[in-house]
């Protein structure tokens, strides 16, 4: 029983850390929604460093696998990642503008395809698909008409929303996990044997 209690405490602490991490992500997401320009630059710098570090790791793996058929392919992919990372880090504003334009085009094309597909197919979810297509088309037009100024807040807003929802998910997992561990621990304590023998349930006492 001591081992079960110890494991329960470890699990409870682990879920508590998840909830704490989720709280930090939620705070970061809220701050990012308030300061979308800073969030945009931060997301671009993180993206650039991820590309750079990923390219360096890929280059090391390619060097370790030299002599194989995939050596030059690994070197080329790693070099492209490193070059893209350097460009993003040196020009985060320009990268944000390019990615915002790309996102606007994705919204536009996705909205048009959903609208056309829902009208042609006329499935049971036609109304919902029409709504999604219209929303995507409207969002793409709004971002495109305000470009390049929209690059200052669109990516930062998406990045902050991702942090916010991920944080809320981690909080839900952490709080729910701690409750489950607490309920299981209480159940184990109730059914734990005592020096006078195992605890009897109310049904056994009536018998």
User: For residues 40 and 46, what is the distance between their CA atoms, to the nearest angstrom?
Assistant: 10
Residues 6+ apart with CB under 8 A from 115: 130, 133, 134, 137
Rounded to whole angstroms, what are the CA distances from 115 to 28, 108, 138, 142?
35, 11, 12, 17
pTM for the predicted model, two decimal places: 0.64
The tokens for 45 are: 């710098």
Residues 6+ apart with CB under 8 A from 147: 97, 100, 101, 104
Q: What tens-digit pLDDT sequence spans the chain (207 residues)?
A: 455 566 666 777 777 888 888 889 888 888 888 888 888 888 888 888 888 888 888 888 888 777 777 777 888 888 888 898 888 888 888 888 888 888 888 888 888 878 787 777 776 767 777 787 787 888 888 888 878 777 777 888 888 888 888 888 888 888 887 787 777 666 666 565 555 555 454 455 454
Residue 84: count other Cβ atoms within 10 Å of its Cβ. 17
């Amino acid at each position: 029983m001591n081992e079960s209690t110890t494991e329960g405490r470890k699990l409870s602490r682990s879920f508590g850390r998840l909830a704490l991490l989720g709280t930090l992500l939620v705070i970061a997401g809220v701050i990012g929604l308030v300061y979308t320009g800073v969030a945009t630059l931060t997301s671009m710098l993180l993206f650039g460093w991820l590309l750079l570090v990923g390219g360096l790791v890929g280059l090391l793996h390619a060097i370790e696998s030299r002599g194989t058929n995939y050596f030059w392919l690994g070197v080329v992919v790693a070099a492209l990642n490193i070059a893209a990372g350097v460009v993003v880090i040196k020009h985060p504003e320009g990268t944000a503008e390019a990615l915002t334009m790309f996102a606007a085009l994705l919204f536009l094309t996705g909205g048009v395809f959903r609208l056309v597909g829902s009208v042609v197919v006329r499935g049971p979810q036609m109304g919902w698909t029409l709504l999604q297509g219209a929303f995507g088309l409207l969002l793409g037009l709004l971002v495109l008409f305000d470009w390049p100024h929209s690059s200052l807040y669109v990516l930062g807003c998406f990045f902050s929303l991702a942090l916010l929802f991920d944080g809320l998910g981690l909080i839900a997992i952490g709080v729910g996990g701690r409750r489950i561990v607490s309920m299981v621990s209480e159940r184990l304590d109730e059914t734990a044997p005592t020096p006078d023998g195992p605890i009897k349930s109310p049904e056994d006492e009536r018998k």
